[in-house]
Structure formats: C-alpha cells, structure tokens
Amino acid sequence: MTFDEMAAIHAACFTTPRPWSAAEIASILDSTFAFVLTEPSGFLIGRVVAGEAELITLAVDPGARKRGTGGRLVDGFLAEARARGAESVFLEVLASNLPAQSLYARKGFEQKGKRRGYYHSPEGTRLDALVLARAI
C-alpha cells in the first residue's frame, strides 16, 4: 500500500484527529522504531520503544468495516510488538469513538486514563482522549 493510499483511507476515517497526509505518514514510518501493517482496505501504524508499544493509528475504509480487518490488524500489531520486545502496549482513542473502543476492549485493552482536551475538532472544540493499555 502506498503512502497516498494510506492517506486517502486515513482521510476517509478521520476528521478528529485530523487526517494525515502521505508526507506525514512517510515521516512517521521513517523512524527506526515505527512499523506499518496493511490489509487491502486498511492499515495500522505502531512503534516500539524501550519495551513499550504504541498503536499510533488504525484506519479501515468505512465501506469495508465489519469484516474483521481492524481485528486482524490489531492482532498483527500485538504479535509484531511482542516480536520487537514490547511487554505492554497503549493507545489513545477519541472518547466518543465507541466502535473503536469496542474493538480494543475485545482485544484486551482497558482504560488507564483520560487526556482532557487532547484532540481538536475542525471547529476548534477540544475533545477528550481515553488512554487504553494492556500487557502482552
């Protein structure tokens, strides 16, 4: 999957947080700690540093949801994080994104905190993020 294809999927999935450009995705993946997992209709970017993994973003084309793509990507992320030496994983998710929270709960993530005003909507509203985590 190209950076342009990833950016198009990201734009179809997100307004808050704002979607990333192909250049921003390429920049994130330029880090020695970052990795990407892809499926034809989605992708996941993660990183592992000092025994801790972060799920940076997960995007599945809205027209291809409810087919297990997100779950497979999260499973792949957990396996890759483990292979890279991670002992725990975390992520931030928009507090109002209930479908994503449901997916992460099914994969063993639990809420560990809240970041008030972490995200900014296109209208300038500050929105909370939940911090979810789990051991590997």
Report, as residue numbers or ranges, the catalytic residues: 92, 104
Helix or strand (DSSP H, E) at 37: strand 34-39
What is the CA angle 71-23-120, rounded to 5? Answer: 70
What is the CA angle 34-48-60, rounded to 5? Answer: 55
User: Which residues are CB-contacts of 57 (< 8 A; sequence separation ≥ 6)?
Assistant: 10, 20, 44, 45
Tokens for 129, please give them. 């993020």
Q: Does residue 53 contact residue 45 with C-beta atoms inside 8 Å?
A: no
